[in-house]
Each structure stands twice: as structure tokens, then as C-alpha cells.
Amino acid sequence: MRNFLLRLVVNGIAIAVVAALLPGIHVVNNDLGTLAVLALIFGLVNAIVRPVVMVLSCPFIILTLGILIPVINGLMLMLTAWIAGDRMQVDGLGWAILGGLIMGLVVLILESALGLREDDRKRREGRDR
């Protein structure tokens, strides 16, 4: 439960950073409640929809040597904005791809700083034994 809540906070911070840096991504009422809802929606989209899309597009990902992955991340950000309704707006696929790249970097840095990646590694090692 602790990791889940930390990941929600990390996603919320990443969305806030992207909205602050990119003029093509807008978060309406940039407050904690809105960011929490967006983080929850983004987490659910990444947990449910993204794996299905990754499996279905696996041949194209291999064919493009992974260049399709940032496009998929951008599409997940656009899907989050669509589900969130008027809480978040993305002005186009280009902004979504750039936002997905920045979000990925922010999440990577914050998860490493908070030790979430180490927790995942330990959990995987425990299952493998």
C-alpha cells in the first residue's frame, strides 16, 4: 500500500512538472485534488491499458527498434487527458509524446530517489526463489 501511494505522489509530481514545462499540456486547477485524480487515472491507464497495447504492438515495436514506445506513452497520456475530461488538456500527439518522455524521466528520478525501484527488484527476487 505504501508503494502504491508513493507511486501516486510520483505520478502527480510528474504531471505537475510536465504541465509547468510544456505549453501544450494544461492542467486545470493545478491543485492537489486535481493532481491526485490525474495521477490515479494515469496509474490505472498504465496498469490496465498500456500492457495490452504493448503486447498487441510488439511486432511493430521490434520492427521500429523501440521508437514506437514513446508514441505509446504519449497515447497513454492523451487517453488520461480524455478520461479526465476538463481536468487536463493535451494539444496534440507531439506534445503528448514530449510530455511522456519528460514524465518518464521525472518518474525514473523520483522512484530511484525514493527507493521504489529497489523495492521492485527485491520483490521480483523474492518471487524468483
Q: What domain range is 8 assigned to?
A: 2-122
Nearest alpha-carbon partner for 84 in 32, 28, 31: 28
Mean pLDDT confidence for 20-37: 92
Does residue 88 belong to any structural domain of this protein?
yes
Does residue 128 belong to any structural domain of this protein?
no
Band (7; pLDDT cuts 50, 70, 90):
confident
* Res. 50: pLDDT tops 90: yes
> For residue 108, what is its C-alpha cell?
525514473
Split into its structural domains, the chain has a count of 1
Does residue 129 belong to any structural domain of this protein?
no
Does residue 114 belong to any structural domain of this protein?
yes
pTM here is 0.85
Does residue 61 belong to any structural domain of this protein?
yes
Cβ distance 120 to 12 under 8 Å? Answer: no
User: What percent of the chain stands above pLDDT 70?
Assistant: 90
| Tens digits of residue pLDDT in 58-78 | 999 999 999 999 999 999 999
Does residue 101 belong to any structural domain of this protein?
yes
* Res. 114: pLDDT tops 70: yes
CB-side exposure of 77: number of CA atoms within 13 Å?
A: 33
Q: What radius of gyration, in Å, describes the C-alpha atoms of the chain? A: 15
How do the residues of the chain divide into helix, strand and coil, expressed in percent and rounded to 5?
80, 5, 15
Does residue 52 belong to any structural domain of this protein?
yes
Does residue 127 belong to any structural domain of this protein?
no
